[in-house]
Chains A and B, each alone.
Chain A
Amino acid sequence: MIIASKKPIEEIIQEVKDYKRLLILGCNECVTVCEAGGKKEVEVLASALRMHFIKAGKEKKIDERTLERQCDHEYLEEIRDVIDQYDAVLSLACGVGVQFTAEKYHSTPLLPGVNTCFLGANEQRGLWTERCQACGSCVLARTGGICPISRCAKRVMNGPCGGSGRGKCEINKELDCAWQLIIDRLRDLGRLDDYEIVAPIKDWSTERAGGPRKVVREDVQV
Protein backbone atom coordinates (compact mmCIF):
# COMPACT_ATOMS: atom_id res chain seq x y z
CA MET A 1 0.00 0.00 0.00
CA ILE A 2 0.93 3.66 -0.07
CA ILE A 3 2.72 4.70 3.10
CA ALA A 4 2.45 8.23 4.38
CA SER A 5 3.55 9.99 7.53
CA LYS A 6 1.87 12.83 9.35
CA LYS A 7 3.07 16.31 8.66
CA PRO A 8 4.24 18.16 11.77
CA ILE A 9 1.36 20.08 13.28
CA GLU A 10 3.39 23.32 13.27
CA GLU A 11 3.69 23.08 9.51
CA ILE A 12 -0.04 22.46 9.14
CA ILE A 13 -0.87 25.41 11.38
CA GLN A 14 1.22 27.66 9.12
CA GLU A 15 -0.50 26.35 6.00
CA VAL A 16 -4.07 26.73 7.23
CA LYS A 17 -3.81 29.82 9.38
CA ASP A 18 -5.39 32.17 6.86
CA TYR A 19 -8.44 30.09 6.06
CA LYS A 20 -11.56 30.68 8.13
CA ARG A 21 -13.56 27.65 7.17
CA LEU A 22 -11.58 24.46 6.86
CA LEU A 23 -12.57 20.92 6.03
CA ILE A 24 -10.19 18.20 7.15
CA LEU A 25 -10.69 15.34 4.78
CA GLY A 26 -9.46 11.86 5.62
CA CYS A 27 -9.29 8.76 3.47
CA ASN A 28 -10.31 5.28 4.48
CA GLU A 29 -7.72 3.37 2.51
CA CYS A 30 -3.92 3.20 2.75
CA VAL A 31 -3.50 6.23 5.00
CA THR A 32 -5.96 4.73 7.46
CA VAL A 33 -4.01 1.50 7.62
CA CYS A 34 -0.71 3.30 8.09
CA GLU A 35 -2.31 5.54 10.69
CA ALA A 36 -1.51 8.84 9.03
CA GLY A 37 -4.76 10.09 7.52
CA GLY A 38 -7.78 8.05 8.52
CA LYS A 39 -10.81 9.04 10.58
CA LYS A 40 -8.89 8.89 13.84
CA GLU A 41 -6.12 11.14 12.63
CA VAL A 42 -8.68 13.56 11.22
CA GLU A 43 -10.37 13.79 14.63
CA VAL A 44 -7.17 14.38 16.51
CA LEU A 45 -5.87 16.96 14.07
CA ALA A 46 -9.19 18.80 13.97
CA SER A 47 -9.40 18.93 17.74
CA ALA A 48 -5.82 20.15 18.07
CA LEU A 49 -6.28 22.84 15.40
CA ARG A 50 -9.53 24.03 16.95
CA MET A 51 -7.86 24.41 20.32
CA HIS A 52 -4.87 26.13 18.83
CA PHE A 53 -6.90 28.73 17.00
CA ILE A 54 -9.33 29.34 19.87
CA LYS A 55 -6.35 29.97 22.09
CA ALA A 56 -4.86 32.29 19.50
CA GLY A 57 -8.16 34.19 19.42
CA LYS A 58 -8.88 33.28 15.80
CA GLU A 59 -12.40 32.42 14.81
CA LYS A 60 -12.44 29.30 12.66
CA LYS A 61 -14.81 26.63 11.58
CA ILE A 62 -12.97 23.34 11.38
CA ASP A 63 -14.98 20.35 10.22
CA GLU A 64 -14.12 16.70 9.77
CA ARG A 65 -14.99 14.21 7.11
CA THR A 66 -13.48 10.94 5.96
CA LEU A 67 -14.20 9.45 2.56
CA GLU A 68 -13.97 5.86 1.47
CA ARG A 69 -11.30 6.89 -1.07
CA GLN A 70 -10.07 10.17 -2.44
CA CYS A 71 -8.70 8.62 -5.60
CA ASP A 72 -12.13 7.76 -7.00
CA HIS A 73 -14.70 10.08 -8.56
CA GLU A 74 -17.54 8.28 -6.92
CA TYR A 75 -16.54 8.95 -3.33
CA LEU A 76 -15.29 12.45 -3.98
CA GLU A 77 -18.76 13.35 -5.23
CA GLU A 78 -20.01 12.91 -1.67
CA ILE A 79 -18.68 16.30 -0.65
CA ARG A 80 -19.96 18.22 -3.66
CA ASP A 81 -22.90 19.68 -1.78
CA VAL A 82 -20.77 20.94 1.11
CA ILE A 83 -17.58 22.02 -0.59
CA ASP A 84 -18.73 25.62 -0.97
CA GLN A 85 -18.96 25.97 2.77
CA TYR A 86 -15.15 25.87 3.03
CA ASP A 87 -12.31 28.20 2.19
CA ALA A 88 -9.87 25.30 1.98
CA VAL A 89 -9.63 21.55 2.31
CA LEU A 90 -6.81 19.93 4.25
CA SER A 91 -6.59 16.45 2.81
CA LEU A 92 -4.98 13.67 4.80
CA ALA A 93 -4.99 11.36 1.80
CA CYS A 94 -1.81 10.46 -0.10
CA GLY A 95 -0.57 12.82 -2.80
CA VAL A 96 -2.88 11.10 -5.26
CA GLY A 97 -5.96 11.80 -3.16
CA VAL A 98 -4.98 15.42 -2.58
CA GLN A 99 -4.55 16.01 -6.29
CA PHE A 100 -7.65 14.17 -7.35
CA THR A 101 -9.71 16.17 -4.89
CA ALA A 102 -8.10 19.35 -6.16
CA GLU A 103 -8.91 18.45 -9.75
CA LYS A 104 -12.52 17.87 -8.86
CA TYR A 105 -12.98 21.01 -6.79
CA HIS A 106 -11.05 23.41 -8.88
CA SER A 107 -11.82 26.61 -7.02
CA THR A 108 -11.12 25.32 -3.51
CA PRO A 109 -7.53 25.42 -2.24
CA LEU A 110 -6.30 21.94 -1.33
CA LEU A 111 -3.54 21.43 1.22
CA PRO A 112 -1.69 18.21 2.00
CA GLY A 113 -1.78 17.08 5.61
CA VAL A 114 0.57 14.11 5.22
CA ASN A 115 3.89 13.41 3.54
CA THR A 116 3.45 10.59 1.06
CA CYS A 117 6.49 8.37 1.44
CA PHE A 118 6.56 5.13 -0.52
CA LEU A 119 4.95 1.85 -1.49
CA GLY A 120 5.52 -0.45 1.38
CA ALA A 121 4.39 -3.03 3.84
CA ASN A 122 3.47 -3.01 7.49
CA GLU A 123 6.42 -4.95 8.84
CA GLN A 124 5.26 -4.70 12.41
CA ARG A 125 3.08 -2.39 14.44
CA GLY A 126 4.45 1.10 13.90
CA LEU A 127 7.03 0.07 11.29
CA TRP A 128 6.49 0.42 7.57
CA THR A 129 9.19 -0.31 5.01
CA GLU A 130 9.58 0.24 1.31
CA ARG A 131 9.13 -2.60 -1.16
CA CYS A 132 8.47 -1.21 -4.63
CA GLN A 133 9.15 1.90 -6.69
CA ALA A 134 6.62 1.12 -9.37
CA CYS A 135 9.23 0.83 -12.11
CA GLY A 136 6.59 -0.41 -14.52
CA SER A 137 8.50 -3.51 -15.54
CA CYS A 138 8.87 -5.89 -12.65
CA VAL A 139 12.09 -7.90 -12.36
CA LEU A 140 11.21 -9.84 -9.20
CA ALA A 141 11.17 -13.14 -11.08
CA ARG A 142 14.90 -12.77 -11.63
CA THR A 143 15.86 -11.48 -8.22
CA GLY A 144 14.48 -14.07 -5.87
CA GLY A 145 11.38 -12.00 -5.21
CA ILE A 146 13.36 -9.13 -3.68
CA CYS A 147 13.34 -5.79 -5.42
CA PRO A 148 16.79 -4.29 -6.09
CA ILE A 149 15.27 -1.03 -7.24
CA SER A 150 13.46 -0.10 -4.08
CA ARG A 151 15.60 -1.94 -1.56
CA CYS A 152 19.15 -1.29 -2.77
CA ALA A 153 20.44 2.21 -2.06
CA LYS A 154 22.07 2.30 -5.51
CA ARG A 155 19.43 0.26 -7.27
CA VAL A 156 22.17 -1.91 -8.75
CA MET A 157 20.76 -4.57 -11.03
CA ASN A 158 23.86 -6.75 -10.73
CA GLY A 159 24.77 -6.46 -7.09
CA PRO A 160 25.93 -6.37 -4.46
CA CYS A 161 28.21 -3.37 -4.65
CA GLY A 162 31.54 -3.41 -2.86
CA GLY A 163 30.06 -1.78 0.22
CA SER A 164 27.95 -4.70 1.40
CA GLY A 165 29.16 -5.95 4.76
CA ARG A 166 27.78 -8.50 7.22
CA GLY A 167 24.53 -8.51 5.33
CA LYS A 168 24.02 -4.79 5.74
CA CYS A 169 24.05 -1.91 3.31
CA GLU A 170 26.96 0.50 3.17
CA ILE A 171 24.75 3.46 3.93
CA ASN A 172 23.36 2.19 7.21
CA LYS A 173 24.29 -0.71 9.47
CA GLU A 174 20.62 -1.26 10.30
CA LEU A 175 19.53 -1.62 6.71
CA ASP A 176 19.63 -5.05 5.09
CA CYS A 177 21.63 -5.18 1.88
CA ALA A 178 19.07 -6.05 -0.76
CA TRP A 179 21.60 -8.12 -2.65
CA GLN A 180 22.47 -10.15 0.40
CA LEU A 181 18.76 -10.91 0.72
CA ILE A 182 18.55 -11.78 -2.97
CA ILE A 183 21.50 -14.14 -2.79
CA ASP A 184 20.22 -15.77 0.40
CA ARG A 185 16.88 -16.39 -1.22
CA LEU A 186 18.37 -17.66 -4.48
CA ARG A 187 20.44 -20.08 -2.44
CA ASP A 188 17.40 -21.27 -0.49
CA LEU A 189 15.53 -21.74 -3.72
CA GLY A 190 18.45 -23.77 -5.07
CA ARG A 191 19.00 -21.22 -7.82
CA LEU A 192 22.28 -19.62 -6.87
CA ASP A 193 23.59 -20.33 -10.37
CA ASP A 194 21.14 -17.73 -11.66
CA TYR A 195 23.27 -15.15 -9.92
CA GLU A 196 25.69 -15.23 -12.82
CA ILE A 197 23.09 -14.23 -15.36
CA VAL A 198 23.85 -10.61 -16.15
CA ALA A 199 20.81 -8.40 -15.74
CA PRO A 200 20.34 -6.46 -18.96
CA ILE A 201 20.51 -2.68 -19.05
CA LYS A 202 17.14 -1.62 -17.76
CA ASP A 203 14.60 0.23 -19.82
CA TRP A 204 13.69 3.02 -17.42
CA SER A 205 11.13 4.50 -19.76
CA THR A 206 8.40 2.60 -17.93
CA GLU A 207 9.55 4.25 -14.70
CA ARG A 208 9.11 7.93 -13.87
CA ALA A 209 11.94 8.68 -16.32
CA GLY A 210 9.47 8.16 -19.15
CA GLY A 211 7.20 10.94 -17.94
CA PRO A 212 3.79 10.66 -16.29
CA ARG A 213 2.43 7.19 -16.85
CA LYS A 214 -0.90 5.74 -17.73
CA VAL A 215 -2.48 2.33 -17.69
CA VAL A 216 -5.23 1.97 -20.27
CA ARG A 217 -7.48 -1.07 -20.20
CA GLU A 218 -9.95 -0.99 -23.00
CA ASP A 219 -11.37 -4.32 -21.94
CA VAL A 220 -12.71 -2.83 -18.73
CA GLN A 221 -13.71 0.55 -20.08
CA VAL A 222 -17.41 1.25 -20.47
Chain B
Amino acid sequence: MRLKCPANFRIIRLPCTGKIDVIHILRAFEKGADGVYVVGCMEGDCHFKSGNFRARKRVEQAAKILDKIGVGGERVKMYNLSSGEGPLFAQYSIEMDKKIRELGPNPVKVALQAKKNAA
Protein backbone atom coordinates (compact mmCIF):
# COMPACT_ATOMS: atom_id res chain seq x y z
CA MET B 1 0.00 0.00 0.00
CA ARG B 2 1.47 3.34 -1.05
CA LEU B 3 0.52 6.30 1.06
CA LYS B 4 1.26 9.85 0.24
CA CYS B 5 2.26 11.66 3.40
CA PRO B 6 3.82 15.08 3.61
CA ALA B 7 7.56 14.58 4.01
CA ASN B 8 8.14 17.36 6.50
CA PHE B 9 7.35 15.70 9.76
CA ARG B 10 9.21 13.38 12.03
CA ILE B 11 7.61 10.37 13.58
CA ILE B 12 8.48 9.63 17.17
CA ARG B 13 7.39 6.15 18.19
CA LEU B 14 6.00 5.45 21.62
CA PRO B 15 4.92 2.12 23.06
CA CYS B 16 1.60 3.76 23.96
CA THR B 17 0.42 7.37 23.73
CA GLY B 18 -0.02 7.18 27.48
CA LYS B 19 3.76 7.57 27.64
CA ILE B 20 3.57 11.11 26.32
CA ASP B 21 3.85 13.97 28.77
CA VAL B 22 3.21 17.67 28.49
CA ILE B 23 6.92 18.32 28.65
CA HIS B 24 7.60 16.21 25.54
CA ILE B 25 5.21 18.31 23.54
CA LEU B 26 6.59 21.58 24.89
CA ARG B 27 10.17 20.50 24.23
CA ALA B 28 9.32 19.84 20.62
CA PHE B 29 8.16 23.44 20.30
CA GLU B 30 11.17 24.74 22.18
CA LYS B 31 13.33 22.94 19.65
CA GLY B 32 11.52 24.55 16.77
CA ALA B 33 8.67 22.24 15.74
CA ASP B 34 5.79 24.09 14.11
CA GLY B 35 3.19 21.61 15.24
CA VAL B 36 2.81 18.35 17.09
CA TYR B 37 0.14 15.76 16.72
CA VAL B 38 -0.31 12.65 18.69
CA VAL B 39 -1.85 9.59 17.10
CA GLY B 40 -3.26 7.05 19.49
CA CYS B 41 -5.46 4.00 19.27
CA MET B 42 -9.21 4.34 19.14
CA GLU B 43 -10.72 5.42 22.44
CA GLY B 44 -11.71 2.34 24.36
CA ASP B 45 -9.14 0.21 22.55
CA CYS B 46 -6.10 1.07 24.61
CA HIS B 47 -4.04 -2.00 25.42
CA PHE B 48 -3.20 -0.32 28.73
CA LYS B 49 -6.83 0.70 29.27
CA SER B 50 -6.56 4.45 29.49
CA GLY B 51 -3.28 5.46 27.83
CA ASN B 52 -4.94 7.30 24.98
CA PHE B 53 -7.32 9.11 27.33
CA ARG B 54 -4.37 10.35 29.32
CA ALA B 55 -2.65 11.41 26.14
CA ARG B 56 -5.68 13.44 25.14
CA LYS B 57 -5.69 15.22 28.49
CA ARG B 58 -2.00 16.00 28.21
CA VAL B 59 -2.42 17.29 24.70
CA GLU B 60 -5.17 19.54 26.03
CA GLN B 61 -2.93 20.76 28.84
CA ALA B 62 -0.10 21.48 26.42
CA ALA B 63 -2.53 23.37 24.16
CA LYS B 64 -3.62 25.51 27.08
CA ILE B 65 -0.06 26.41 27.98
CA LEU B 66 0.83 27.15 24.36
CA ASP B 67 -2.16 29.45 24.14
CA LYS B 68 -1.14 31.30 27.27
CA ILE B 69 2.42 31.89 26.15
CA GLY B 70 1.29 33.01 22.71
CA VAL B 71 2.59 30.07 20.68
CA GLY B 72 -0.92 28.86 19.89
CA GLY B 73 -2.79 25.86 21.20
CA GLU B 74 -4.04 24.88 17.75
CA ARG B 75 -0.57 23.67 16.96
CA VAL B 76 -1.14 20.48 18.91
CA LYS B 77 -3.78 17.91 18.22
CA MET B 78 -4.73 14.41 19.20
CA TYR B 79 -5.98 11.89 16.66
CA ASN B 80 -7.25 8.37 17.19
CA LEU B 81 -7.21 5.52 14.72
CA SER B 82 -6.87 1.77 14.74
CA SER B 83 -3.77 -0.05 13.56
CA GLY B 84 -5.06 -1.03 10.10
CA GLU B 85 -5.98 2.49 9.04
CA GLY B 86 -2.95 3.59 7.03
CA PRO B 87 -4.92 5.82 4.68
CA LEU B 88 -6.47 7.63 7.60
CA PHE B 89 -3.02 8.15 9.07
CA ALA B 90 -1.98 9.75 5.82
CA GLN B 91 -5.11 11.84 5.74
CA TYR B 92 -4.49 13.16 9.26
CA SER B 93 -0.94 14.10 8.41
CA ILE B 94 -2.11 16.01 5.36
CA GLU B 95 -4.75 17.75 7.44
CA MET B 96 -2.22 18.73 10.10
CA ASP B 97 0.30 19.86 7.50
CA LYS B 98 -2.31 22.11 5.94
CA LYS B 99 -3.37 23.56 9.25
CA ILE B 100 0.18 24.35 10.34
CA ARG B 101 0.93 26.00 7.02
CA GLU B 102 -2.06 28.23 7.58
CA LEU B 103 -0.81 29.12 11.05
CA GLY B 104 2.71 29.81 9.81
CA PRO B 105 5.95 28.94 11.54
CA ASN B 106 6.36 28.52 15.29
CA PRO B 107 6.97 32.05 16.66
CA VAL B 108 9.58 30.74 19.08
CA LYS B 109 11.62 29.39 16.18
CA VAL B 110 11.18 32.66 14.29
CA ALA B 111 12.39 34.68 17.28
CA LEU B 112 15.40 32.41 17.75
CA GLN B 113 16.36 32.68 14.10
CA ALA B 114 16.00 36.45 14.11
CA LYS B 115 18.35 36.58 17.06
CA LYS B 116 20.87 34.34 15.29
CA ASN B 117 20.74 36.48 12.17
CA ALA B 118 21.29 39.63 14.18
CA ALA B 119 24.34 38.16 15.87
Contact between A and B in the complex (any CB pair below 8 Å): yes
A binding-site residues for B, Cβ under 8 Å: 8-10, 13, 40, 43-44, 47-52, 54-57
Interchain CB contact under 8 A, A55 and B69: yes
Number of interface residues of B (CB under 8 A): 17
Nearest-neighbour CB distance to chain B for A48, whole angstroms, equals 5
Interchain CB contact under 8 A, A52 and B70: yes
Interchain CB contact under 8 A, A51 and B71: yes
Knowing A9-B65, A10-B68, the reply to whether A51 touches B23 (Cβ < 8 A) is no
Chain A's closest residue to B21 (CB) is A40
Interface of chain A, main secondary structure: helix
Chain B residues closer than 8 Å to A43, beta-carbon distance = 23
Interchain CB contact under 8 A, B111 and A57: yes
Interchain CB contact under 8 A, B26 and A47: yes
Please tell me if B107 contacts chain A, counting CB pairs below 8 Å. yes
Please tell me if B108 contacts chain A, counting CB pairs below 8 Å. yes
29 contacts across the A-B interface (CB closer than 8 A): A8-B68, A9-B65, A9-B68, A40-B22, A40-B23, A44-B23, A44-B26, A47-B26, A47-B27, A47-B30, A48-B65, A48-B68, A48-B69, A49-B69, A50-B30, A51-B29, A51-B30, A51-B69, A52-B69, A52-B70, A54-B112, A54-B115, A55-B70, A55-B71, A55-B107, A55-B108, A55-B111, A56-B70, A56-B111
